[in-house]
Amino acid sequence: MEYHCRLVEAARMGNVEALHDLIKENPFVLSDYALVSLHENPLHVATKAGQLGFVREIIRLKPESAEEPNREGFRPLDIASAFGHVEIVKELVTSTGNDICRLKGKDGKTAIHYAASSGRLEVMDDLLSFSAECVTDVTVLGETALHLAVKYYKVEALRNLVEWLEKLGLEEIVC
Whether 80 is covered by a domain: the verdict is no
Q: What range defines the domain where residue 35 resides?
A: 1-72
pTM metric for this prediction: 0.94
Whether 147 is covered by a domain: the verdict is yes
How far, in Å, CA of 35 to CA of 38, rounded?
Answer: 7
Strands (E), the chain: none
Structure letter (DSSP) for residue 41:
-
Show pLDDT as tens, one digit a residue, over the chain (175 residues).
Answer: 587 899 999 999 999 999 999 999 999 999 888 777 768 999 999 999 999 999 999 999 999 999 999 999 999 999 999 999 999 999 999 999 889 999 999 999 999 999 999 999 999 999 999 999 999 999 999 999 999 999 999 999 999 999 999 999 988 776 5
Helices 16-25 and 2-13: crossing angle, nearest 10°?
Answer: 160
Q: How many other CB atoms sit within 10 Å of the CB of residue 79? A: 25
In this structure, the answer to whether residues 110 and 142 fall within a common structural domain is yes
